[in-house]
Amino acid sequence: MNKRSLVIMILILSIILAPYWIYLPLVLISTFFFPFFWEGIFLALLADTLYGFKNLPVFGFPLALLESILIVIFLPIRKLFRFNAESNL
Amino acid sequence: MKTTFRKNNSSQSTSGRILIIIALFIVGAIVFPLTRGFLYRVLSPVWKGENAFSRGVKNLSDFFRSKEALIQENENLKAEIAAQDNLVLSCRVIEGTKDSLLSTYGREASDAGIAATVISRPPKTSYDVLVIDAGKENNISVGETVSVPEGPILGKVFESFSNTSQVVLFTTSGEKTDAILERNLLPVTLVGKGGGNFEMILPRTAEVEVGDKILSSPIDPRLMAVVGDVEETPTEGFKKALASVPVNLQTLRFVSISHN
């Protein structure tokens, strides 16, 4: 099991068990540190499905939209950091 | 000298990744709502176990408190219970009078409702949404009022599954609810701000003070909130009152669902 899979499992458990002020920053940090963290969209969808409701903005998935935007924003930003080259190896 | 020029594929790969993200979002937005009932059924025992564990940890902390502190707290609680018993007896008399008045005018008296356990609550969710362990099999249907047993009303059932239901509280951000300010029976509109809080805009001449109660409707009033703060600017023609539900949502264990 590699680091990315382990982190995803931890994030799923934190979404199920922990308060939002724990899992939201963890998802944000993971989105920044892992290259193209597309799994974050599903994690955000899971949080919105469990704890949101249909009448929320963006068809009831505001967190998923925010996560999608962050992934796109972090794509060029990550290239500026040294860990980006190491994580792409 | 041979110079090899690499094709710059970065813009193409970025465009491809953006398309992948959009596709994942659309597919997820279609599929995930269909799984809500299934997820609640699967996670319900996990959340119940987590709640029991949290209560156990809290009880364990009491083990380390001094004997004197526990005795003093016991005495205080006994006195508080005695005072509350008298208040409950008075309320029962008033409730009986209210029910007979309602039946005189052809209105049904309120029933006790169905009790349910709260299995998911803030701050697990950043929205003011509860998940309860009663659903269609318990005759829970969408739109029914949810309240604290013998206490204030909190919200309505938004979605009902076989054994669980989702309750959206009136304090959900952006949710507007009509209510009555007990002082002068002034109609007000409560706007949810999240975290168990409301905001209402009142005319500058309206009388409102900290501690005023906000009720649900004039016919069968139930407590909804208590005014916590009033903000007034002399140059503006209105004032803003902030209110909150008189219940700690983060420790809420049981609710009552009333058939409308």
Please list every residue in chain B whose beta carbon sits closer than 8 Å to the beta carbon of residue A19.
123-124
pLDDT digits (tens, 9 = 90+) for B20-56: 999 999 999 999 989 999 999 999 999 999 888 888 8
Q: Which of A32, A25, A26, A33 is nearest to A9 (CA)?
A: A26
Count of C-beta atoms within a 10 Å radius of residue B140: 22
- A20–B123 CB contact, under 8 Å: yes
- Contact A68/B at CB under 8 A: yes
pTM score above 0.95: no
Q: Which of B236, B176, B184 is nearest to B208 (CA)?
A: B184
State the Cα torsion B251-B252-B253-B254 to the nearest 10°. Answer: 170
Is B71 inside any structural domain? no
Cβ contact A74:B14 at 8 Å:
no
Chain A: residue whose CA lies nearest to B130: A51
Is B85 inside any structural domain? no
State the Cα torsion B153-B159-B164-B167 to the nearest 10°. Answer: -30
Contacting A residues, span 5-44, partner chain B, CB-CB under 8 Å: 16-21, 24, 36, 38, 41-42
Contacting B residues, span 64-123, partner chain A, CB-CB under 8 Å: 120, 123
Structural domain range at position B223: 176-244
Report the alpha-carbon distance of residue B229 to residue B211 in Å, rounded: 8
Is B213 inside any structural domain? yes
Average pLDDT of span B157-183: 91
Mutate to test the interface with A, among B10, B12, B14, B24 (most CBs of A within 10 A): B24
Is B239 inside any structural domain? yes
Q: How many domains does chain B fold into?
A: 1
DSSP 3-state of B79: helix
Give residue B112's identity as a one-letter amino acid code.
A
The pair of structure tokens assigned to A1 is 């099991």
Is B97 inside any structural domain? no
B36-61: b (≥16 Cβ within 10 Å) or e: bbebbeebbeebeebbeeeeeeeeee
Say what the ipTM of the complex is.
Answer: 0.85
Is B223 inside any structural domain? yes
pLDDT digits (tens, 9 = 90+) for B82-136: 777 766 766 666 666 666 666 666 665 556 678 899 999 888 877 889 999 999 9
Count of C-beta atoms within a 10 Å radius of residue B72: 11
- Contact B44/A at CB under 8 A: no
- A49–B158 CB contact, under 8 Å: no
pLDDT > 70? residue A54 = yes
What CATH number corresponds to the domain at position B197? 2.40.10
Q: Would residue A70 be called left, alpha or beta, if left means φ above 0 and alpha means ψ between -120 and 50 degrees?
A: alpha
Is B197 inside any structural domain? yes
